[in-house]
A and B are shown apart, each in its own frame.
Chain A
């Protein structure tokens, strides 16, 4: 079951913040966040495991709410290099290895 990702797109000025959400109707084992730039492969940002963990990568952080089966990615003080399409990839508790990706969020950071 494909996770639901929102918003579809967001336009930011440099220095602004944004939140991207990823939710599942089934129990999640892990959530993986990737960023993909045009014509390139997805690049791993971070992994969230059940347990409400919060992780950080530079000024990008994420959280996992096990009760809601939802993960959120926080882009703080955005930089031009943050532009790209962000995907969440989820694994269900009964399906290790079987990744389902959200539809993606296109992020454009302008000067």
Chain B
């Protein structure tokens, strides 16, 4: 089973709202990723968690706040977003320190009004 699930599938929010994206996997992967993907562009790395600790933060604005409460779950808390933050947000997971690839979830399509 190589399934990564993400909720919600779609999210529309105003610039003053607070919302969260959720990602879950039960493959025993201890590395989890958040990516942002704009239309016709490649996925852009935002955060990497390794063993529930933040290991990579690609200078993402503080209005995006990641959280990894346990080895299966990854959240992305959103606050005071801008319209340019509208994008597809992809979660991925992977076995740490291996030559295995990362497996992507279906993504959350976010629209900021």
Contacts and interface: CB of A to CB of B under 8 A. Distances in A.
B48 A98 contact: yes
Given A97-B48, A98-B45, A98-B56, A44 B99 contact: no
B59 interface: no
Interface string A35-47: 0000011111001
Contacts of B61: none
B46 to A, nearest CB: 11
- Chain A, interface residues (CB within 8 Å), range: 20 to 34
A87 B44 CA distance: 12
A44 B48 contact: no
A47 B104 contact: no
A99 interface: yes
B45 A99 contact: yes
Interface residues of B, number: 25
B50 A97 contact: yes
B69 interface: no
Contacts of A71: none
Interface string B78-97: 00000000000010001011
Given A97-B48, A97-B50, A40 B106 contact: yes
B66 interface: no
Nearest to A30: B99
Contacts of B105: 41
A99 B104 CA distance: 13
B111 interface: no
Interface of A: 2, 30, 32, 34, 40-44, 47, 49, 87, 89, 96-104
9 contacts: A30-B99, A41-B105, A41-B107, A42-B43, A44-B101, A87-B43, A89-B43, A97-B56, A103-B41
Interface of B: 31, 33, 40-45, 48, 50, 55-56, 90, 94, 96-97, 99-107
